[in-house]
Amino acid sequence: MKKLFYIDYPQEHFEGQAHRYRCAFCKQETTKINGHLEGHLVSCEFRIAMEKVGFECNQNVPRPNLDTTDEED
């Protein structure tokens, strides 16, 4: 199960920087997280909770090419 964006995590202000937000758990800035689960630290409670319920990181794993062997003789 995958979601494109994970934006429903608790956020908090950077101290003294009202226009900047960060994850309340792992303290990664929202612009760094950018809606991606892997933007959180692996130790982030939110990320752990999401992974526990079956969400995955949006890893850009290159698909291995299907076996397209040349049939030339």
- CB nearer Zn ion, residue 8 or residue 71: 8
Q: Kindly tell me the burial class for residue 60, based on how many C-beta atoms sit within 10 Å of its own C-beta (0-12, 13-18, 19 or more).
A: exposed
Nearer to Zn ion, 8 or 23 (CB): 23
Residues ≥6 apart with Cβ < 8 Å to 26: 40, 41, 43, 44, 45, 46, 47
Q: Is 18 or 40 the residue whose CB approaches Zn ion more closely? A: 40
Question: Contact residues for Zn ion (CB under 5 A)?
Answer: 23, 25-26, 40, 44, 46
Tell me how far, at minimum, the Cβ of 43 lies from Zn ion, in Å.
9
